[in-house]
Amino acid sequence: MNAVRTIIGMSGGVDSSVAALRLRDAGEPIAGLFMQNWADDGSGDCRAEDDRRDAVAVCGRLGMPIHFRDFSKEYWDGVFAHFLAEYAAGRTPNPDVLCNREIKFKYFLDAAYELGAEFIATGHYARVAEIDGQFRLLKAADRSKDQSYFLHQLGQKQLSATKFPLGELIKADVRDMARDAGLPTHAKKDSTGICFIGERDFRDFLARYLPARAGEMRTPAGHVLGEHPGVFYFTLGQREGLNIGGVRGFEPAPWYVVGKDVANNVLYVDQGVDSPFLHSRTLWSEGAHWIAGAPPASRFRCNAQTRYRQPDQTCEVIVSSDGTLEVRFADPQRAVTPGQSLVLYDGDVCLGGAVIAATDAVLEQRIKEHAA
């Protein structure tokens, strides 16, 4: 038997199952590896054991060996601690981006090398292409499932050693292939949301780590509408969980979060999905990561996404000497949220991205001026 050349991350889901199937059928010498990234917290909501059993069953069906690694400590230190710190600061982090950079394409890659493999593979919907000696991260063929947004922190080392067997496939075809191959995960529901929270209530989960501190809920004009349980439970543009009933003097329309004053523990809300207080045209980022190792220019035009599955937005990017970005959009952007990821594209090619630090949204600027 050939030595294993590729280790595929087996999550216990249908995507990694079919990715393994495609590699096996292509004659690639493979083995699976199941990563445990979250230790059981005693809540009964952790599905790691179910996923592990499914991963083992799939590997058995495909006739391939499987290995196991516990990265829960590395996940806590490299992902979850940052997640809590960001929420405590009133920002909204994206743990999936950090998980890919810190766990799946660092510790998993190192584990694969230790097992004697040359490559890793995952069930992500994305593509890698080598062009003129440089590795490019490309959007997936199935744009509705494209996950390049979450992979924008990868570099040349990771991409040169990574295979994405689902990059050219449509999700519906993936399920059909799993069913035709008799894989036990063919009808398994896709996981959604933040992996370590699972199906439980987000606010209940966060309250275990960040004690609630109630405060005023106000309109941008300063009208007090009631009390919120903690500003870090909410994100810009959120409608759910505000519990605002009919308010005298206001239309019976939905309310949305439009601002957070963490220092004064005030949550700002306004009516209308397109409230002007939710819009911005310019953002500033933290230091950017470039997949090619450097930006295409110090000033250039491209497309951007400020949240997952957002249609591409035309923008101009100005790269500062310290590596941070100023990004000016052609059209106003709704609910651009500090802590989330800005990801830049040139057509199908993902250039890289950065964490959003601030925007020119009216309310955000006003809160900063009052704090100064």
Tell me the C-alpha distance between 120 and 190, whole Å: 22
Report pLDDT for 203. 82
pLDDT (tens digit per residue) in 348-360: 999 999 999 999 9
Tell me the range of 156-160, 212-216, 232-236 where mean pLDDT is highest.
Answer: 156-160
| Mean pLDDT confidence for 80-95 | 92
Question: Above 70 in pLDDT, residue 195?
Answer: no
CA 133-137-141 angle, to 5 degrees, is 125
Report pLDDT for 41. 59
Topology adopted by domain 279-371: Elongation Factor Tu (Ef-tu); domain 3 (2.40.30)
Report pLDDT for 255. 95
Confidence of residue 1 (pLDDT cuts 50, 70, 90): very low
Tell me the C-alpha distance between 313 and 316, whole Å: 10
Question: Above 80 in pLDDT, residue 201?
Answer: no
pLDDT (tens digit per residue) in 33-61: 999 988 765 555 557 788 999 999 999 99
Residues marked active site are found at 99, 195
Please tell me which residue, 200 or 89, carries the higher pLDDT value: 89
pTM of the predicted model, to two decimals?
A: 0.94
Report pLDDT for 192. 67
pLDDT (tens digit per residue) in 265-288: 999 999 999 999 999 999 999 999
pLDDT (tens digit per residue) in 140-189: 999 999 999 999 999 999 999 999 999 999 999 999 999 999 999 999 88
* 106 C-beta neighbours (distance < 10 Å), count: 16
Average pLDDT over the chain, rounded to an integer: 93
Out of 2.30.30.280, 2.60.120.10, 3.40.440.10, 3.90.550.10, the CATH code matching 212-273 is 2.30.30.280
Report pLDDT for 198. 64
Question: Above 70 in pLDDT, residue 297?
Answer: yes
| Mean pLDDT confidence for 255-261 | 96
Out of 3.40.50.620, 3.90.1150.10, 1.10.3720.10, 3.30.9.10, the CATH code matching 6-180 is 3.40.50.620
Each domain of the chain, given as residue ranges in start order, spans 6-180, 212-273, 279-371
Report pLDDT for 44. 54
Domains 6-180 and 279-371 share a fold: no
